Amino acid sequence: MKVLKGKNSANYIVNFFYLLSILNNSVFLSYMSAKINSETRMVTTYRPHMKIIGDILSTTRDDLHSDDGASVTYLIRKANVSHTRISKILSNLVSQGLLEQVNSEGTFRYKISSNGREFLVAYQTFSRFAENFGLII
């Protein structure tokens, strides 16, 4: 599903519930992982896919001092993700319109789009909301 463009409340609500459905799956998987780990006395924390996406979008929004965008190498370091995995994620974020891909000096660089900014705000809002109820996202 593509993130709907526009600032009307119907699009915001649809996007919010889409994000909620994705996060709901992540919360369930995190809960099951925590339950299994507590039963086996292992302490392992995995970042859900949505957390990685949030980290990538935050990095492209906050950490860049120029308008050139972030290189793949920079995003790999900041998001702590393998090249193979981040390539798939970046491709998906560009196709969804959350990131813009810019060809700069023969390499691709990534900048957050206006839709990406809206999505990131909604994600961060929901993340804080979930944490207030003790949910792991």
Provide the 8-state DSSP code for 66: S
9-132 in CATH: which number? 1.10.10.10
| Residue 78 CA to its chain's centroid (Å) | 13
Q: How do residues 5-25 score in pLDDT, each as one tens digit?
A: 555 555 656 666 666 566 555
- Residue 19 identity: L
| Residue 124 vs residues 53, 69, 89, 121: alpha-carbon distances, Å | 11, 22, 19, 5
Domain boundaries, given as residue ranges, for the chain: 9-132
Which residue is associated with the tokens 């909604």?
Answer: 122
This prediction's pTM: 0.66
Q: What is the pLDDT of residue 31?
A: 47
Q: How do residues 83-128 score in pLDDT, each as one tens digit?
A: 999 999 999 999 999 999 998 788 899 999 999 999 999 999 999 9
Q: How do residues 25-77 score in pLDDT, each as one tens digit?
A: 554 444 444 544 444 444 456 788 899 999 999 999 987 777 788 999 999 99
Partners of 77 in beta bridges: none
The closest alpha carbon to 51, from 2, 112, 123, belongs to 123
Q: What is the pLDDT of residue 32?
A: 46
